[in-house]
Amino acid sequence: MTTVLELHDVTRSYGSPPTQALRGVDLRVDEGEFVAIVGPSGSGKSTLLNLIGTLDRATSGEVLITGERVDDLSDARLSALRAHTIGFVFQQFHLSEGQSTVDNVGSGLLYTGMSRGLRRERAREALISVGLGHRLDHKPKQLSGGERQRVAIARAIVRRPALLLADEPTGSLDSASGETVVQLLRELNGNGTTIVLITHDRDLAERLPRRVAIRDGLIVSDSGDPAIAGQTKSGVAA
Amino acid sequence: MSVPRSRLRASDLTGLAFHGVRAHPMRAVLSGLGIAIGIAAMIAVIGISTSSQALVQQKLAEIGTNMLTITAGKDYLGHETKLSPDALARIRHLDGVEEASWTSDVDTHVYRNPYVAAGATGGLVVRAAEERLPDAVGATLAQGSWFTIATRGLDTVVLGSTTAEKLGITEVGMQVWLGERLFTVVGILDPVLLAPELNTSAIVSPERATAVLGFDGIPTTIYERSEDADVLRIRDRLPQTVNPASPGDVKVSRPSDALAAKNTVDQVFTGLLVGVGSIALLVGGIGVANTMVITVLERRQEIGLRRSLGATRPHIRAQFLAEAILLAFLGGLAGALIGVAATAVVAVANGWPLAVPLLIPVGGLIATIAVGAIAGVLPAVRASHTPPTAALSA
Ligand SMILES: Nc1ncnc2c1ncn2[C@@H]1O[C@H](COP(=O)(O)OP(=O)(O)OP(=O)(O)O)[C@@H](O)[C@H]1O
Ligand SMILES: [Mg+2]
């Protein structure tokens, strides 16, 4: 098993006087895992996901993506890493209203320098793989919430990232649409995609292979840390 | 591990710019409006002035720049003095002279009818004119004819264009009150470009002027025409020819030079208006900058999303800069079209040839690109400093 993600004693402080959103987090995620991050509002889940996704930098500690330390990388190198290695799915989809689904998904490859024709071809494949082969030329407005999130997922996976990150992907969906999205993510994971997902949904988290609970900027439980396999940390279960 | 760099194709950058502008068409139109007005104003001003100049040039080419005007100069009271009676004959003998004629002021006035007060001359002057005058000055008749053997000895008059207008004479055959007599109008001249003083004249024949108006037969002004190549040589010899005793008193002028000088005055005026257009362009640029600042603030999430998709800061900067340039360029394009159209309308209405130097619209468009680039720098830099986490924060 290769390790996709490693965090060592990571902290993140905001403002002055500094308030710590993360207070020393250790986490390791191996290839092929599907990890749910759970915790109350304001506990630091999004902060953690931003650091994992290299959208933000840790105040202290180490973040390693596919074995490489990213803390000291230049902005250009981090951008390159995101363009090729990390996929994001957001609660609000962030689709471009003026573009068809194919072009929205194709924009996932925009910053790889791939030609438009090739991007559209890959986008079509990705849309078929998320079950939207019949919605290629629709505009986001013409799609249901669940379909829109599946388009956003297709955009995230179109470049076949080593790591897929999702912040509350079902947060603005009804339970039925949410379920199709979860099924899709499970399917992708079954095909080998490593996924880290934030959720408020207890039932959803329960069904995932590994749950990391976070509270006040600290990991309080981890149902399957590969580093300490079998051991359970004391604290609140998710 | 080596990850390839983020890359954005030039064609995709262009696509992004168009996409950004198209997302808010109304806003694009309004923010491009300032630039459009600036460019349209500049092109219209320059186009209209060059078109009207083109007309003058065209006329000059038609009537020629080979006419010289000779006057005896002015005395110490500022009155025109008289030339010697045989001056015309001597000029005609000069080598290269093709056409020469004279006019002379007659000491009387012209009125619409006998009831007009004597002081109300309207600035009109009565002149006697030698028979070849129309050929010498290039005058053409709007109506009627020049003096003939039949009319020369009668109380007949040919009116300059302004004179006819001021006296309310619309057709030949009407009569005017001249030197306490009724004179019949036999001809009305078109405006004379090279001898504008004829426009405000009432012209009588020397024979009649001598007979009934007390004219002494001595010319005031001689008009002379030659081949273009001979103009300068003849100009130098004229004073000596006209007045060998005192050549320095003779005044020789070339009226076409005055017309060219008038064009230079127009250019100063044009420069002023172009300055005003530049200010409009500047204000338009500020409008674009303003729009772009708002756009950047509104699109924080989009910027965050693009950063999460792998865009570098320079990619974001380039995108918003391209959008600002496109916005300005579209405004400039619209302005160029409006400016050329306005020039065409004015030119057609005035019967001018349409002349817009290609350099002007092309230069205008290059200027708008520069304005857009300058206007876009600050917003683009701000956009590139939007944190990538902006995609996650709702
Ligand atoms: N940009 C920021 N500036 C200052 N404080 C911040 C910033 N982002 C997050 N915080 C603070 O850090 C803490 C953790 O925030 P975070 O967004 O990670 O919580 P969360 O677990 O994702 O909550 P939610 O479930 O509501 O999304 C909060 O106290 C928050 O106020
Ligand atoms: Mg959050």
Measured CA to CA, the distance from residue B104 to residue B115 in angstroms comes to 27
Contact B12 A81 (CB under 8 A): no
**Which residue of A97, A99, A110 is in closest CB contact with B8?**
A110
Question: Measuring CA to CA, how many Å separate B72 from each of A158, B80, B201?
Answer: 94, 7, 19
How high is the pLDDT of residue A232? 43
Contacts of B290 (CB under 8 A, 6+ apart): B31
For position B268, what pLDDT does the model report?
72
Q: How far is the CA of B156 from the centre of ligand 2 (A)?
A: 103
- A128's CB contacts (< 8 A; 6+ apart) are none
Beta bridge partners, B176, equal B183
Q: Is B312 strand, coil or helix?
A: coil
Q: Is the pLDDT of residue A235 over 50?
A: no
In-domain check, residue A29: yes
Percent of chain A at pLDDT exceeding 90: 81
Sign of the dihedral defined by the CA atoms of residues A110, A111, A116, A117, in that order: negative
Q: What is the pLDDT of residues A152-193, one digit of tens each?
A: 999 999 999 999 999 999 988 898 899 999 999 999 999 999
More confident residue, A17 or A237: A17
pLDDT of A233 strictly over 50: no
DSSP string, B28-90: HHHHHHHHHHHHHHHHHHHHHHHHHHHHHHHHHHHH-S-EEEEE--B-TTSPBPPPPTTHHHH
Q: Please list the pLDDT of chain B residue by residue as tens digits (394 residues).
A: 577 899 999 999 999 999 999 988 998 998 888 899 889 988 888 888 888 778 777 777 777 788 899 988 766 666 666 788 888 899 998 888 999 999 999 999 999 999 988 888 889 999 999 999 999 998 999 999 999 999 999 999 999 999 999 999 999 999 999 989 999 999 999 999 889 999 999 999 999 999 999 998 889 899 999 888 888 899 888 888 888 877 778 888 888 777 666 665 566 777 777 787 788 888 899 999 999 999 999 999 999 999 999 999 999 999 999 999 999 999 999 999 999 999 999 989 988 888 888 888 898 899 999 999 999 999 999 999 999 998 766 5
- Pocket mutation for ligand 1, best pick of A11, A12, A14 (most atoms within 8 Å of C-beta): A14
Q: Which residues of B340-368 are buried (b: 16+ CB within 10 A; e: fewer)?
A: bebbbebbeeeebebbbeeebbeebbebb
Chain A contact for B309, CB < 8 A? yes
The order of strands in the sheet holding A60-65 is A19-30, A3-14, A60-65, A68-69
- Tell whether B308 is within 8 A of chain A (Cβ): yes
A16 Cβ closer than 6 Å to some ligand 1 atom: no
User: What is d(CA B18, CA B6) in angstroms, rounded to the nearest whole number?
Assistant: 21
A43 lines ligand 1 (CB under 6 A): yes
Chain B contact set for A113 (CB, 8 A)? 6-9
Whole-number Å distance, alpha carbon A13 to ligand 1 midpoint, is 10
Distance separating alpha carbons of residues B160 and A183, to the nearest angstrom: 97
* Ligand 1 lined by A42 (C-beta under 6 Å): yes
Find out whether the peptide bond into A17 is cis, omega within 30 degrees of 0.
Answer: yes
State the Cα–Cα distance between residues B329 and B373, nearest whole angstrom. 10
**Burial (0-12, 13-18, 19+ Cβ within 10 Å), A104:** buried
Token pair belonging to B219:
């010319």
- Determine the distance in angstroms separating the CA of A73 from the nearest CA of chain B, rounded to an integer: 12
**CA dist list (Å): A233 to A217, A227, A238, B350:** 16, 12, 12, 93
Find the ligand nearest to A19 CA. Answer: 1
The one-letter amino acid at A135: R
Q: Which is nearest to B198 in space by CA: B162, B224, B170, B172?
A: B162
A→B contacts (Cβ < 8 Å), by residue, are 46, 49-50, 53, 55-56, 66-68, 75-77, 79-86, 88, 90-92, 94, 96-99, 107-108, 110-113, 115-116, 155, 167
Q: Which residues of B touch A50 (CB under 8 A)?
A: 388-389, 392
Q: Identify whether A137 is part of a domain.
A: no
Atom of ligand 1 minimally distant from the CA of A48: 18
Scanning every residue of chain B, which has its alpha carbon at the shortest distance from the alpha carbon of A166?
B392
Establish if A133 belongs to a structural domain. no
A86 three-state secondary structure: strand
Give pLDDT tens digits for A47-102.
Answer: 999 999 999 999 999 999 999 999 999 999 999 999 999 999 999 999 998 899 99
For A101-155, the pLDDT digits (tens) are 999 999 999 999 999 999 999 999 999 999 999 999 999 999 999 999 999 999 9
- ipTM for the predicted complex comes to 0.92
Residue A86 resides in a domain: yes
What is the pLDDT, as a whole number, of residue B339?
Answer: 92
Residue A44 DSSP one-character state: S
Task: Give the β-pairing of A163-167 and A194-198.
Answer: parallel
A58, A234 in Cβ contact below 8 A? Answer: no
Count structural domains, chain A: 1
CA–CA min distance A95, chain B (Å): 9
Q: Among the residues of B205-312, which ranges form H helices?
A: 206-212, 231-242, 255-298, 300-308
Q: What is the CATH number of the domain that holds A51?
A: 3.40.50.300
Of all protein residues, the one whose alpha carbon is nearest to atom 24 of ligand 1 is A41
For ligand 1, atom 9: residue with the closest CA: A47
For residue B384, give the chain A residue with the closest CA: A75
CA B90 from centre of chain: 39
Backbone region of residue B78 per phi and psi (left: phi > 0; alpha: psi in -120 to 50; beta: other values): left
Domain assignment of residue A148, yes or no: no
Residue A9 placed within a domain = yes
Residues paired with A214 in a beta bridge:
A219
Write out the residue range of the structural domain in which residue A82 sits: 3-93+158-237
